[in-house]
Amino acid sequence: MIDTIKEHLEEVKKFSSTSKEDIEAFRIKYLGKKGLLNSFFAEFKNVPNGQKKEFGQVINQLKTSATEKVNTLKEALENQAETQGEYGDLTRPGEPIEIGSRHPISIVKNRIIDIFSRIGFNVSEGPEIEDDWHNFTALNLPEYHPARDMQDTFFIQTDPDILLRTHTSSVQVRYMENNQPPIRTISPGRVYRNEAISARSHCFFHQVEGLYVDKNVSFADLKQTLQYFTTEMFGKSKIRLRPSYFPFTEPSAEVDVYWGLETETDYRMTKGTGWLEIMGCGMVDPNVLQNCGIDPEVYSGFAFGMGIDRIALLLHQIPDIRLLSENDLRFLKQFKSSL
């Protein structure tokens, strides 16, 4: 009988399984109510007195070994289940990373920056909270100048000299104060005006303004630069410049591109004329150059500015400017494949 128990001891030591059913069957075989251990304990009374001590030791050893084996295998099985629950099946292929979407404002801004960078324009940036000097006075808009009424401004209530910038021309002033000609830069950024919010206007929007200052810069240089931009941006080479007024440029002009009248949308956007206004421009007023520490007797320059939002609405046929700032994923996901 003792030899039989020792054979079971070897069997217990060799047993191994990762199956919950096999481990349970092993437990029942040795530790169940009708298991082998209870049978061996029942035989104890029939063992000769001289063998009782050794018989008892072997049975206890079998019980201990079987119990430890069951506990060890169950613990390993539980640890494996916890790992799978936390990380899943580590052998399966990884989940594909979803490609994000670029905002239409970013798409248009990046295209504009790329086009002008090819002809030597760098990018300059400045603060959105600006002072009166950089936003108005340095740009030939002294206090009480009637042209200030053209831009409904958000002033900081605690300090009437501080405001939310109404255009990125303030960045050009800062750039001219810290850099000497030749200057060739564009200034993209967000601007703020106290306007009623509708499908066509918002209290904040985005602009790109450009500046070129050097010796002997002429209006012809401005026109050729804008001709290049409209051809690269819209694929339209026909433009016209209409006389206009801006306090910081003289002479000034509005730039129209001939969009055409091929579709009903073209008729609606151009009001049946085929011409679409895209930006304002002009030669930098000598007073502005002087305010920024540049000698207007030696240098001249041109400037231009356009709304990124308006171009985004145009290129992507977006009917409502408010869609650009509402963070609606259904709208934004349409631009997933755009660069």
Q: Which helix H or strand E contains 286, and what residues bound it? A: helix 286-291
Can you tell me whether residue 263 is helix, strand or coil? coil
Please state at what angle helix 2-14 crosses helix 52-87, rounded to 10 degrees: 10
Alpha-carbon dihedral angle through residues 39, 44, 45, 49, given to the nearest 10 degrees: 160
d(CA 219, CA 21): 89
Residues 282 and 250: beta-carbon distance below 8 Å: yes
Tokens matching residue 275: 């011409």
The three-class DSSP label of residue 37 is: helix
Cβ-contact 305, 210 below 8 angstroms: yes
**Is residue 68 part of an annotated ligand binding site?**
no
Cα–Cα distances in Å, from 254 out to 38, 61, 251? Answer: 102, 100, 11
Query: Do the beta carbons of residue 207 and residue 188 sit within 8 Å?
Result: yes
Q: 21 to each of 17, 25, 27, 199, how far by Cα in Å?
A: 9, 6, 10, 67
- Residues belonging to the binding site for Mg(2+) are 250
Annotated binding-site members: 250
